[in-house]
Amino acid sequence: MRALNPTVLVVGATGRFAGLIMPQLIRRNASVRALVRDPANAEKARRLGASEVVTGDLRNAQSLENAVEGVDGVFHIGPAFAPDEAAMGIAMVEAAARAGVRKFVFSSVIQPTNTRLKNHASKVPVEDALYSTNMEYTILHPANFMQNIAAAWPAIVRDGVFSEPFPKTAKLARVDYRDVAEVAAIALTEAGLSYATLELCAGMHSREEIVSMMSEELGRPISAGETAFGEWAANARLPYDDRQLQMLAKVHDHYARYGLGGNSLTLRAALGREPRSLRSFIRELALQTAQKA
């Protein structure tokens, strides 16, 4: 059953990932209220399709009260590696619950109970807070985002090497965040995914397998590189401080030891179709490169 024209608050609406949910919501006749921290991003939010824009801060409870007033649903994704990510998520859940919001979708992470990884464990208190509300929650556990490969793509094309700071044989579960956004939009506008906790993965691949796909799609060889974490982080120009980089380094150390497991069954069922594959994602990138040539 589909809700008629719900209004959904999208947290971080102009971000690289939350921004992908907006067209999915609009396609389902939802109105989007974008929550932005910087008023300068208001126009960008409107270009993405937001019918309303509110300025707020996840660390400011009053601004959250104002943001959730009158909305039917909330989509929340926390800022990556923020030291108070859990507190911000809980504040958003509590504000939504007090306001009588009906649906809440939280973009968490695959394996949140892997408490060795702080950025995974920080999601658990937010999930726990949702269980103690009367909202119809849907918790998403997405794998490593394919969009991270897109961020590295210009360097891959330039240098002919795809490097990550863990062994090229390690297999990681990955997902196209556009599929995650579609599942989120379904959950916010329909009843079928209420109270579900969903592992979202399209498949597992090693870097050796990935560069084989890249080579075939680009029509020239791409090799699998293995870079020390410090060098990789410097080349990636990540917007993280030393503490955040240490957290990310532990994630990659975990990948080196154990990889990252994931299963595509749940994503396939939630979408009602095959998920976007890593091969198709790389093909899109290669076509874009060819068009620019």
Q: What is the pLDDT of residues 115-156, one digit of tens each?
A: 999 999 999 999 999 999 999 999 999 999 999 999 999 999
Q: Looking at residue 68, what is its pLDDT?
A: 97
Helix (H, G, I), strand (E, B) or coil at 260: strand
**Res 290 pLDDT > 60:** yes
Model pTM? 0.95
Q: Looking at residue 237, what is its pLDDT?
A: 83
Contacts of 46 (CB under 8 A, 6+ apart): 34, 53
Percent of the chain with pLDDT strictly greater than 70? 99
Question: Which candidate, 69, 132, 74, places its Cα nearest to that of 102?
Answer: 74
Sequence-ordered alpha helix ranges (H) in 132-277: 147-159, 177-189, 207-218, 229-236, 242-258, 265-271
Which residues share a beta bridge with 11? 35
